[in-house]
Amino acid sequence: MSIATVLLVEDDDALRRALRMSFRARDFDVLEVATGEAALTVLADQQPDAVVLDLGLPGIDGFETLRRLRTYSTAPVIVLSARDHQRDKVDALDAGADDYVTKPFDPEELLARVRAALRRASPVPTGPAVLRFPGLEVDLASRSVRRDGESLHLTKTELELLEQFVRNPGKLLTHQFLLRAVWGPGYGSESNYLRVYVRQLRRKLGDDAAQPRFILTESGIGYRWIAESE
């Protein structure tokens, strides 16, 4: 019994074969294609649960594939990007990718990212109003936060930022996503605002950027909430 069907979109045959074996070994059903055009057709016909998408493809590239598939699919997409193409990762995340893995990568890392994306994608009809993390309690209904049992005073902006994090656990949130979600659609490039507020929020949560328990910095890209809810 397979746990999910994943569509692999990769033009490198050897890499695709290796990925197929890793996913099959972990009980995934695997669909595979070598071009963006083929991916769009398979996606529409067979509706896989998740997509692993290489950005460098012949024909339409990974970005264009992503843009087109997002018009009709909400399946989580994990992008494979070449090393040192930071801008590509940001663009892919902003275009609707859920996460990325940099080549060359450990297949276990990719599997973990796909599993995490599938968990987030599975519908939670009514999420709990109170989220608990080690040493932290966030009540989304009353908008109150307690750290080690003590009530924490957060500004409206800090609270909204925290809410974005705890509502998207494990997901890499880009600067642009957070700025638009918290400050509004007119924002997107003011990463300095975000840095200031993340620093304040970390301080109030007692988090350490160098050894984070809650907010991990993805350098040049965004932030990720890493605490597991209890």
| Interacting residues toward Ca ion by CB under 5 A | 11, 54, 56
In terms of CB distance, is 54 or 98 closer to Ca ion? 54
In terms of CB distance, is 31 or 161 closer to Ca ion? 31
CA distance 107 to 105: 6
In terms of CB distance, is 10 or 163 closer to Ca ion? 10
CA distance 73 to 94: 16
In terms of CB distance, is 4 or 53 closer to Ca ion? 53
In terms of CB distance, is 20 or 167 closer to Ca ion? 20
Distances from the Cα of 45 to the Cαs of 33, 38, 39, 209, in angstroms? 13, 11, 10, 44
Least distance in angstroms from the C-beta of 149 to Ca ion:
51
CA distance 24 to 29: 6
CA distance 2 to 66: 25
* Strand-pair category, 222-225 with 172-174: antiparallel
Least distance in angstroms from the C-beta of 9 to Ca ion:
9
Least distance in angstroms from the C-beta of 189 to Ca ion:
29
Least distance in angstroms from the C-beta of 11 to Ca ion:
5
Name the residue number minimizing CB distance to Ca ion.
Answer: 56
In terms of CB distance, is 65 or 176 closer to Ca ion? 65
Residues 164 and 182: beta-carbon distance below 8 Å: yes
Q: Which tokens go with 16? A: 């695709």
Environment class of residue 212 by beta-carbon count within 10 Å: exposed (0-12), middle (13-18) or buried (19+)?
Answer: middle
Least distance in angstroms from the C-beta of 117 to Ca ion:
21
Least distance in angstroms from the C-beta of 57 to Ca ion:
6
